[in-house]
A and B are shown apart, each in its own frame.
Chain A
Amino acid sequence: GAVVSQHPSWVICKSGTSVKIECRSLDFQATTMFWYRQFPKQSLMLMATSNEGSKATYEQGVEKDKFLINHASLTLSTLTVTSAHPEDSSFYICSARPTLRGTVYEQYFGPGTRLTVT
């Protein structure tokens, strides 16, 4: 089946540093990937849509200079949280939409990355 991985699964960083989270589609190519943020006991909020070879599309209210997204290949998208602060601590989830798919809604989620900023 289609598998999406995220690395790391958990990261702790100091305030002011940057941290990169990877999202990989392991057995399929994904032209489009999505990045979500989930605070404890809350829903998933879409942060941005990542398209291979082009700039990401950010949702309203998401700081594009703080959350840098790079989708450099058909199997990898990265989210870099720059100058992280404690309020950036959250669970970050990606999903990947296969380039070749049987349905328009086909999409697969990664297992998530827990970010803790101290």
Chain B
Amino acid sequence: EAQVTQNPRYLITVTGKKLTVTCSQNMNHEYMSWYRQDPGLGLRQIYYSMNVEVTDKGDVPEGYKVSRKEKRNFPLILESPSPNQTSLYFCASSLLSASGNTEAFFGQGTRLTVV
């Protein structure tokens, strides 16, 4: 089954304690990205990657890091989490296609609470 898998689904942590949210896709997609979803703000892109070792900032990258060492994995790293990073996080993947005839597949989400 084609899917994007995020772990963990729920996480409560304390300010300053480094954490990693994993994301893995089994569709051989080149493009992967991370979004955060906040009430009344919709989804905002944090970072994206167009292929292995190619990453770039999205619209709200401050406080986050990513890496893309393998095509299937795209972890999100919070080196020193703060309460304003409490949010619902989604990983997504898609094929890169010049025609645009593709769609983004989303993971189930990770609800992060930083206290």
Q: Do A and B bind each other?
A: no
Q: Contact residues of B with A, CB < 8 Å?
A: none
